[in-house]
DNA sequence: TCTGTCCCTTTGTCCGACAAAGTTAGAGTG
DNA sequence: CACTCTAACTTTGTCGGACAAAGGGACAGA
């Protein structure tokens, strides 16, 4: 018979973790605002009363979490975590969990449709201008699969941004990051892939301009179905996302 | 006239970063599989030829990223990043970016509807059993707002799990983590809140069992609209998510 | 089989040190 | 006076070594 639970586990976090938690608390509580300087390592040594090595381990944790950064002169600042950096963590996790392209496709269908709906409803002049700019750059590189794939990724980031919904923006990013490398393969492999992609973007911008929700959803669906058809010419949707795709995400994270 | 680009920028990452990157590469490439032991710190010191402090800083980075863990005996293992841990990073970011409850609501509407659609289509016997178990536990604590809110959060995690789409599962988690604390407030503040919540869950399980997509979507919408109505009695949807909510996420992360 | 003990390894923490890069202040120059 | 250049000073990244606490393993004894 197991013993009755008389005692609770004691909280024995190592010192570096406590340092990280303490600083994190100040940031998420808002007592330290994004942009505010954290002291130097030596300051923190004095304040926490632990060794510099310990402080440094705590700092690494926060740095990796995106809560603090070092500016050009390597001084520590609190900062707003950047979506693309956080999302690349998630992309990495999805790869390791060996999610299939089908899961990616299905989730993206939902997320991209939601994005365009938001964009159609709420896009600002500036959002539309950014999208138009992206379109003209896409048209210029329609023959260059790598450049076009990059434009495509940016286009959808801009659509999500135009939705004015940052939760959605963040939620769609991990899946989108995994899409990006495949787009290049598909545009390369499918004749007419490039022009169709650009045409879809044109229709999408048009739909946003006219605030035509139906058209927006329709063209988003078509755009993704095009991707799917192209992909299925190369591989099965039930294949899991492969490790090699991570290279892109890793490069993106470092920026 | 600018000089022709004769040289590429040199990679001048600090040593601890290189250590972290090198280990990360082995993991995402699949050469180190989840569960495989990484060596001891001393091993790594020998392999990389840098000081132990440097190794330790690199390890902190990977640990925070969820790529490696220490088991009970503190030995290092590669591991699959856990969704809830990663999601709490995102929740934290959303709080710091001061997203509004409206954004949260809108995104969740999309994500939870997509989850239920997937669940209706693909839920396994086991998924349904888990949901049923959750329901009976919810019924037992219908008078306890905190416990009920916790059950509600778990319920929706289980629905997403039943969708068999891990991308969706991951995408919905950050927003859901921010919902959780409010549910408790709402159930406390609104008469009939608890019973309505449980009733909605019952209908949702029923819809999944009958593979009735329409009913599933309908009840998910109602469920979220209930939340919204309850929330608007307390505060405006345009209020931004507040810092205090992070406490939950911070506690969740440490698990 | 269980327990207690001894020994070895590993981790968490500390101390002190130093080179490289950045910062600041002051001298020198036009 | 504005400007540049240089010489301290500070801060970070890395190193070497140190030690206590905790874990793991082997082994003897009940």
Q: Percent of chain B, pLDDT > 90?
A: 72
Residues B26, B91: one domain? no
Domain extent at residue A250: 83-254
Residue B42 burial (C-beta neighbours within 10 Å; 0-12, 13-18, 19+): exposed
Confidence of residue A1 (pLDDT cuts 50, 70, 90): very low
CA of B61 to C1' of C22 (A): 25
* Predicted pLDDT of residue A10: 54
Residues B61, B90: one domain? no
Q: What's the CATH number where A31 sits?
A: 1.10.10.10
Confidence of residue A190 (pLDDT cuts 50, 70, 90): confident
Residues A114, A175: one domain? yes
Q: Which residue has the higher pLDDT, B77 or B247?
A: B77
Check whether residue A70 has its CB closer than 7 Å to nucleic acid strand D: yes
Residues B101, B175: one domain? yes
* Predicted pLDDT of residue A5: 47
Q: What is the pLDDT of residues B176-233, one digit of tens each?
A: 999 888 888 888 877 788 899 999 999 999 999 999 999 999 999 999 999 999 999 8
* Predicted pLDDT of residue A246: 52
Tokens of residue B201, six digits = 């869950």
Q: A102: closest CA among A254, A220, A228, A252?
A: A228
* Predicted pLDDT of residue A3: 40
Confidence of residue B175 (pLDDT cuts 50, 70, 90): very high
Cβ contact A181:A245 at 8 Å: yes
Say if residue A7's pLDDT is above 80. no
* Predicted pLDDT of residue A228: 93
Domain count, chain A: 2
* Predicted pLDDT of residue B181: 85
* Predicted pLDDT of residue A251: 52
Q: What is the pLDDT of residues A198-228, one digit of tens each?
A: 999 999 999 999 999 999 999 999 999 999 9
Q: What is the 3-state secondary structure (H, E, C) of A40-93?
A: CHHHHHHHHCCCHHHHHHHHHHHHHCCCEEECCCCCEEECCCCHHHHHHHHHHH
Of A58, A78, A98, at which residue does a domain stop?
Answer: A78
Of A33, A48, A78, at which residue does a domain stop?
Answer: A78
* Cβ neighbours for B205, distance < 8 A, ≥ 6 positions apart: B128, B131, B132, B135
Q: Is residue B166 part of a domain?
A: yes
Q: What is the pLDDT of residues A76-106, one digit of tens each?
A: 999 999 998 999 999 999 999 999 999 999 9
Confidence of residue B251 (pLDDT cuts 50, 70, 90): low
Least CA distance to B13: which residue of chain A? Answer: A254
Spatial distance between the Cα atoms of B250 and B255, rounded to a whole number of angstroms: 9
* Three-state DSSP state, B78: strand
**Residues shown for chain A:** 255
Of B78, B111, B128, at which residue does a domain stop?
Answer: B78
Residue A141 forms beta bridges with which residues?
A: none
* Predicted pLDDT of residue A255: 44
CA of A71 to C1' of C21 (A): 14
Residue identified by tokens 């009958």 is B210
pLDDT average, residue stretch A142-164: 95
pLDDT average, residue stretch A37-65: 95
Tokens of residue B245, six digits = 């909510």
Residue B182's CB: how many other CB atoms inside 10 A? 19
Q: What's the CATH number where B222 sits?
A: 1.20.120.530
Confidence of residue A244 (pLDDT cuts 50, 70, 90): low
Q: Is residue B5 part of a domain?
A: no
When mean pLDDT is compared over A86-90, B132-136, B238-242, the highest value belongs to B132-136
Q: What is the pLDDT of residues B53-98, one digit of tens each?
A: 999 999 999 999 999 999 877 889 999 999 989 999 999 999 999 9
Mean pLDDT of chain A: 89
Give the A window 181-240 contacts with B, CB below 8 Å.
Answer: none
For residue B178, the distance in angstroms to the closest alpha carbon of chain A comes to: 11
Buried b (16+ CB within 10 A) or exposed e, B127-138: bbebbbebbeeb
Give the B window 104-133 contacts with A, CB below 8 Å.
Answer: 104, 106-108, 110-111, 114, 118
Residue A243 DSSP class: G
Say if residue A4's pLDDT is above 50. no
């Amino acid at each position: 018979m197991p013993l009755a639970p008389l005692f609770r586990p004691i909280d024995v976090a190592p010192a570096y973790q406590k340092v990280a938690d303490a600083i994190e608390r100040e940031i998420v509580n808002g007592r330290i605002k994004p942009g505010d300087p954290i002291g130097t390592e030596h300051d923190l040594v004095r304040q926490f009363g632990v060794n510099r090595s310990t402080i440094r381990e705590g700092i690494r944790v926060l740095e990796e979490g995106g809560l603090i950064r070092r500016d050009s002169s390597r001084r520590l600042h609190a900062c707003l975590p950047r979506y693309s950096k956080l999302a690349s963590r998630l992309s990495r996790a999805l790869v390791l969990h060996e999610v299939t392209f089908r899961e990616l496709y299905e989730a993206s269908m939902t997320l991209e449709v939601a994005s365009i709906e938001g964009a159609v409803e709420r896009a600002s002049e500036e959002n539309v201008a950014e999208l138009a700019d992206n379109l003209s750059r896409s048209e210029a590189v329609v023959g260059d699969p790598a450049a076009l794939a990059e434009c495509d990724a940016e286009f959808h980031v801009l659509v999500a941004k135009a939705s004015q919904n940052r939760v959605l923006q963040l939620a769609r990013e991990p899946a989108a990051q995994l899409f990006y490398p495949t787009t290049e393969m598909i545009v390369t492999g499918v004749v007419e892939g490039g022009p169709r992609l650009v045409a879809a973007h044109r229709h999408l911008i048009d739909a946003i301009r006219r605030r035509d929700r139906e058209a927006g959803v329709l063209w988003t669906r078509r755009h993704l179905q095009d991707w799917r058809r192209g992909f299925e010419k190369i591989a099965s949707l039930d294949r899991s996302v492969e490790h090699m795709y991570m290279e892109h995400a890793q490069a993106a994270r470092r920026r």
